[in-house]
Structure 1
Amino acid sequence: MPKFIADLHIHSRFSRATSKNLDPEHLALWAQKKGIKVVGTGDFTHPGWISELQEKLIEAEQGLFRLKPDLAASIKPAIPDSCQDSPRFMLTSEISCIYKKNDKTRKVHHLILLPGFDSVLKLNRRLEQIGNIRSDGRPILGLDSRNLLEVVLETSDRAFFIPAHVWTPWFSLFGSKSGFDDIEECFEDLTPHIHALETGLSSDPPMNRLLSQLDRYLLVSNSDAHSPAKLGRESNLFETALDYDAMVKAMTDGQGFSGTIEFFPEEGKYHLDGHRKCRVRLHPEETKSRKGICPVCGKAVTVGVFHRVDDLADRDHPKISKAFFSLIPLTEILSEIHGCGPATKKVTRIYEDLINTLGPELHILMDASLEKIKQTGGVLLSKAIDRMRNNKVIRQEGYDGEFGVIRLFDDGEKDEPYQNRISSDYQGERQGDAL
């Protein structure tokens, strides 16, 4: 069976606060730069986006689509030979449910996968009778999550329904602000139709596997990208036939689902508790000792993912069932090494040189030999990726909407005298590995 990477939760330019470049051409271009074989379309509920998808995509394998040949040819010159592929699209969308249940306002997001345009249009007709699906690519519906699941199941027996970023404080299944304490409370009699949960950027598999109630669910990860360059920052590893039903089966029974690519969860913007306005970051025990109150302004802090997991956990040690790989985006690594922003011309030029020589970004981060990375990108880049692969990172946790920072070097390590020493140490390590 082929091995491939899939990122199934993204957005289009029809969603709020997203890049204008989120169109099929740019998604296909960046999927190749990243090394992603299957990318979700996102936002299929929006009439403008689904119309564009119908115009620009053709069916490839069963339930998967690709760019029409003329569009694929138009972006080919912008893709390095080392990255060129034919990425597939799966029809996906995120829906926000806001409703009252058990005397509490609930705000929960869900990811929906469907096998074809007919089923998408059928679902959209049904949802348009319930609420406004035209104003935003991620529509907000006053619909109970259980009832949305029922509507989706009635639309297609091949539909797949995934609670999205399940720990995000404000909009998720287990969110501290408006979520539930267990899955059954949310989905009631339809709970058996839930097979997978999306971890979100602020949690990772070890955190989720501290809850025995999640043992029967597969954990998936996706980028939730709001711009093409963010594709693949979290994604999934499949070893199945390249078609919709095979991928859904793998996410249902776990067979053919190899694992996930993850953010370091501390980089997620809701990992710890805190109050961004007052620049207060708190660990759970600090929040509890302060009774959830910001020490600066006296208002309630936002309880983060780490705290919420700790509240619901019933294990001291996680029960890991699938492989996972914690990565730092290549532009962020280059930004740290060269002391300039990840979107600067310098970082962009170096990034393009690297993928042109070594192949797609995720291959560089996960699989490329350190010696080849050193020859192409220098000793600091090779050392940085070596440290990342071995989980030797410096973590500054995100909180209350503020992204965290993951670093690979201490102050002074990038100075030239240190670079000479690190090069010598690196050579010794490599020789030792060969013995």
Structure 2
Amino acid sequence: MREYFVDLHIHIGRTKSGRAVKITGAKSLTFSNIISHARDHKGLNMIGIIDSHSPEVLGEMEELLIAGELEEHPDGGLMYGGMSIIPGSELEINDEDTLGPIHVLCYFPFLKTMRAFSEWLSQHLKNIHLSSQRVYISGRELQEKVKSLGGIFIPAHVFTPFKSLYGKGVNKSLTEVLDPEMIDGIELGLSADTMMADQLSELHRYSFVTNSDAHSLAKIAREYQKIEMDQPSFRELKLALKHEEGRSIKANYGLDPQLGKYHRTVCAQCFTHSHSNEDHCSQCGSLKKVRGVADRIAELKSEEVFKGYRPPYIHQVPLEFIPGLGPKMLEKLLDHFGTEMAILHSVPFDSLKEVIPEKTAAIIEKARTGQLAFQAGGGGKYGKIADR
């Protein structure tokens, strides 16, 4: 068995021809740019590209297979050197039972399976070329189709205030929308961690995944997990999510929830933090607020305490959050130490301070050991490191 760094939620911004896929995604987020950046710059071993249903993206993958730059793994996944690419799709469900738009992630083992799903999907949404499109069937129907193709189904960023399973404040249980037997894992999102999510007893049965939801190259691997598998294939990933045959998630690496954009309830007008029971903003008087993930979980929490095993959730500060660490300094670090995974996990403090100012190296070391303080984020604004 080996351990692999895995980020399963990366968007395509543009196709090779320049056609938009994720409207809010960076133009540099092309398939070819993503796979080289994720492997050579970030140091990931497996990635999920969740706009693979887009026909031009499928076409580019097929071209790279023919050219020999990609190779399909017999157990699923596309190999780019030593890194595995899992094709997937993020979709929005919003039928009469859903009570609000909810994003879900669907992954498939082979390119032919992904193409078959794309062709079926084109009959149930308005624009097959775009990311995160609303699919005009129920959540359970979508689950059944994914499972019929041997796929993996994971509700996305389940607590964020917008377009998530619990976030809007209407749905109180996943059973209102989805078949719990056809869920393979739960994606936590940037503003929640394992301890917070395990306050909901209906989630105790599932593995938690921590992914970047990257809309730019820099955001890749801001959250990820370390998974123990025999090899980086779709089949092994599926086993790991179910903790079968010795495969499992060994650690989740994610933002301290305070750094997330929706951790605290804030005024929608002036972003002043507020308590969920306050009728109006104490600063500007507005009645509009964006409810924070922490408050939403407090509303939903169960009496039952989780008694099983969870892998450690390691609060990690992405390098882009480190004060004073700009692009030139980061490039200098990468020139010396190879990948961001190496810088975050294995490069000694003494080696860091030989390359960058000791003050900046000290912040990286504090981030590794959980010694930083934060100003909590909310309402769509990230939190900040409070001390330098």
Which TM-score applies when normalising by structure 1? Answer: 0.80
CA apart distance, 1:308: 0.7
Matched, 1:294 2:281: yes
CA distance in structure 1 between the aligned counterparts of 2:58 and 2:267, rounded to whole angstroms: 39
1:93 is aligned to 89
Of residues 174, 184, 193, the one that matches 1:183 is: 174
**CA contact under 8 A between 1:207 and 1:318: conserved in structure 2?**
no
- What RMSD over aligned residues (CA atoms) do the two structures have, in Å? 2.0
**Gap runs ≥5 in structure 1:** 68-84, 339-346, 410-435
CA distance in structure 1 between the aligned counterparts of 2:242 and 2:385, rounded to whole angstroms: 33
**CA contact under 8 A between 1:206 and 1:318: conserved in structure 2?**
no
Of residues 17, 25, 44, the one that matches 1:18 is: 25
- What is the DSSP-based 3-state SS (H/G/I as helix, E as strand, rest coil) of the residue aligned with 1:106? coil
Change (3 A) 1:297 1:54: farther
CA apart distance, 1:40: 1.4
- What is the DSSP-based 3-state SS (H/G/I as helix, E as strand, rest coil) of the residue aligned with 2:37? helix
CA distance in structure 2 between the aligned counterparts of 1:271 and 1:327, rounded to whole angstroms: 16
Matched, 1:133 2:127: yes
1:204 is aligned to 193
CA distance in structure 2 between the aligned counterparts of 1:24 and 1:309, rounded to whole angstroms: 36
Matched, 1:399 2:378: yes
CA distance in structure 2 between the aligned counterparts of 1:29 and 1:121, rounded to whole angstroms: 23
- What is the DSSP-based 3-state SS (H/G/I as helix, E as strand, rest coil) of the residue aligned with 1:253? coil
CA distance in structure 2 between the aligned counterparts of 1:7 and 1:269, rounded to whole angstroms: 19
2:243 is aligned to 253
Q: Which has the higher helix share?
A: 1
Matched, 1:243 2:233: yes
CA apart distance, 1:107: 1.0
CA distance in structure 2 between the aligned counterparts of 1:2 and 1:402, rounded to whole angstroms: 37
Change (3 A) 1:327 1:25: same
- What is the DSSP-based 3-state SS (H/G/I as helix, E as strand, rest coil) of the residue aligned with 1:9? strand
Matched, 1:263 2:276: no
CA distance in structure 2 between the aligned counterparts of 1:66 and 1:234, rounded to whole angstroms: 22
**CA contact under 8 A between 1:5 and 1:36: conserved in structure 2?**
yes
- What is the DSSP-based 3-state SS (H/G/I as helix, E as strand, rest coil) of the residue aligned with 2:94? strand
CA distance in structure 2 between the aligned counterparts of 1:408 and 1:262, rounded to whole angstroms: 20
Structure 1, residues 117-167: CA drift from partner, whole Å, max 9, x if none? 11112112222111223352221123221221112122x1x2000000000
**CA contact under 8 A between 1:131 and 1:141: conserved in structure 2?**
yes
CA apart distance, 1:315: 5.4
- What is the DSSP-based 3-state SS (H/G/I as helix, E as strand, rest coil) of the residue aligned with 2:125? coil
CA apart distance, 1:279: 2.6
CA apart distance, 1:177: 4.1
**Gap runs ≥5 in structure 2:** 14-20
- What is the DSSP-based 3-state SS (H/G/I as helix, E as strand, rest coil) of the residue aligned with 1:89? strand
Structure 1, residues 260-285: CA drift from partner, whole Å, max 9, x if none? 11011111111111124223222xxx
CA distance in structure 2 between the aligned counterparts of 1:87 and 1:210, rounded to whole angstroms: 35
Of residues 23, 39, 47, the one that matches 2:55 is: 47
CA apart distance, 1:359: 2.7
CA apart distance, 1:37: 1.1
2:116 is aligned to 122
- What is the DSSP-based 3-state SS (H/G/I as helix, E as strand, rest coil) of the residue aligned with 2:351? helix
Higher Rg: 1
2:18 is aligned to none
Of residues 27, 51, 54, the one that matches 2:34 is: 27
CA apart distance, 1:106: 2.0
When structure 1 is superposed on structure 2, of 245-254 and 193-202 the one drifting more is: 245-254
2:265 is aligned to 273
CA distance in structure 2 between the aligned counterparts of 1:145 and 1:169, rounded to whole angstroms: 19
Q: Percent identity?
A: 26
CA distance in structure 2 between the aligned counterparts of 1:277 and 1:48, rounded to whole angstroms: 40
User: Which residue type is aligned with residue 348 of structure 1?
Assistant: P
CA distance in structure 1 between the aligned counterparts of 2:73 and 2:220, rounded to whole angstroms: 22
CA distance in structure 1 between the aligned counterparts of 2:324 and 2:218, rounded to whole angstroms: 19
Which TM-score applies when normalising by structure 2? Answer: 0.89
CA distance in structure 2 between the aligned counterparts of 1:328 and 1:297, rounded to whole angstroms: 34
CA distance in structure 1 between the aligned counterparts of 2:61 and 2:285, rounded to whole angstroms: 48
User: Which residue type is aligned with residue 238 of structure 1?
Assistant: I
**5 Å matches for 1:354-433?**
354-409=333-388
1:77 is aligned to none
Structure 1, residues 22-70: CA drift from partner, whole Å, max 9, x if none? 1122112221211101111221221222222222243242312135xxx
- What is the DSSP-based 3-state SS (H/G/I as helix, E as strand, rest coil) of the residue aligned with 2:181? helix
The total of aligned residue pairs comes to 370
